[in-house]
Structures are given as structure tokens and as C-alpha cells.
Amino acid sequence: MARLTTDPTTTDRRPTDLVARVRRHNRSFGSTHVLREVDLDIRPGEFVALLGRSGCGKSTLLRSLTGLDPVPAGEVEVHGRTGVAFQEPRLLPWKSVRENVALALLNTEQRDRRHGLADETLAEVGLTEKHDAWPLQLSGGQAQRVSLARALVSNPELLLLDEPFSALDALTRIEMHQLVIELWRRHSMAILLVTHDVDEALALADRLLVLDQGRMSHAWEITIPRSDRAPSRPEIAGPRAEILTALGVKPTPPNPNRAAHSGRGAA
């Protein structure tokens, strides 16, 4: 089932029981307040989708979780390794696919094994034959798979995805969705997906959050098996309309050609 929860961004768990814990987090750029008193908990192995209109602070929150931006002490805690993939693959064109993935391990204890681990991870994303290719020789979907492999090669406890599928064609997006679900199950990591696509969020995530004007405003927990999440199903159509309304969008009928993802149970 899917249900709306009034304050689902936090739990009563201890910080050490969480992969990520955000408390009263604020970010401003000059006089512009981007994040306001944001609270968020992410549990081990949980798949969370973060939705919101452009400029609402989604990517800023993700950067705080990655450590790319400085944050005040105590506001953001991440327990374990993180990996991140962005909307643009951000591959270095003068390095091979293998070298691009191995870069994530260059300053770690696994640096001496980085090329072997890069090859293993490229095999996981279906790019064994491309490890010696140059980024400019890749299709858009292949480049995004390399970006995903680079995020995964360190075996993170938390994988952060910042709209990594938005520039892909429809069929490639479906393939990438299925790949992410397979990798999530295999590695038992937590995932935070930033997306504008409500149907994508409903298909992939266990919990959906809406960020509005820098604040967490709404959230839904989805317990329906992924194989049963066709947008036309009443159990999904209701929350879908609620989410679109929360985003300030007039609900529209779902695309009847958009199928649910296959999967076992609620996983």
C-alpha cells in the first residue's frame, strides 16, 4: 500500500542506526535561503526519492550529504562511505573508462587494487567490453553507466543519485531503472534519488519526500511490490495525484504505456 505520513523524515532511531541523519539543516547563498530547518533520516538499505520543483534545494541537500559543501557541525551526519552520480556523467575525456572508474579509489586504501575493482564494477553495469574505450566513444546511456560504476566501486553504504536519468531516452531510462534496482538489491545499500519524475520515484523508491521552498513538506511510504506499481493502479494513482498536487502540478492521467518494474515482494 501507499500512505501519506505527517512527519516521516525523522525516526526515533539512534544516529548510529542510520546511514544519514540531518537535523535543522540550513543553507543560504547571500540573502537567498535555500534550505530551512531540514530534518532527514535515511535507514540502511532504504530507497528514498526526493522530489521538488527547480530551485527548491534538492541538489543543495545532496551536496551537503556528499561533503562537497561545508556544513555546520552536527547538522549532517553520514555513517559509512558515499557514492554519487550526477545528471551529467562528468567523465574525464582524456582517461579511459577504466581509469575514470578507478579514480574514485585513488586516495583510498584500495588504490593498489583500483583497476581490478574498476573492471569488476564495470562488469556489474554491463560494460566489460568498454573498459579501454574513451568517454567520447560512449552513448549517453553507456556514459551514465560508467558514472554509476564510479559511484559504486567503493562499495558505498549510501548511493546518492542526482537526476542521473533525466537526459536519457525513454527506453534507456527503463534499462537504467532496472539496473539500479538490481544493484541496490545486490549491494544492500541505501539510495537517495533526486528526481523531477513522479512516476520514476513511485516505481523505484520505498519512501517519497517533497522539498518545497527549502522545507520538507510531504512524504509517502510505498509498500506495494514494485511489480505491482503500474501508475494506473488505484493504490498508486491516489498517491500520484497527491504528490503532483504537493508539487503544484495539476494531476494528469498516467501514461498507460509506462509499465511497473518487475521485482520480488516489496523489494
Does the pLDDT value for residue 262 go beyond 90? no
| CA angle 163–5–241, rounded 5-degree value | 60
The DSSP element (H or E) to which 215 belongs, if any, is strand 215-222
Confidence (pLDDT) at 253 = 65
Just give the CATH number of 2-80+157-246. 3.40.50.300
Does the pLDDT value for residue 215 go beyond 90? no
Q: Which residue has the higher pLDDT, 84 or 228?
A: 84
SS3 267: coil
Confidence (pLDDT) at 27 = 87
pLDDT band at 180 (very low <50, low <70, confident <90, very high): very high
pLDDT digits (tens, 9 = 90+) for 125-138: 999 999 999 999 99
Confidence (pLDDT) at 265 = 39
Give the burial string for 4-18 (b: 16+ CB within 10 Å, else e).
Answer: eeeebbeeeeeeeeb
pLDDT band at 266 (very low <50, low <70, confident <90, very high): very low
Name the least confident of 60-69, 122-131, 134-143: 60-69
In contact, 87 and 167? CB cutoff 8 Å: yes
Sheet-wide strand order for 32-42:
32-42, 20-29, 76-78
Instruction: Show me where the domains of the chain are located.
Output: 2-80+157-246
- Give the residue from 77, 85, 82, 68 showing the smallest Cα distance to 40: 77
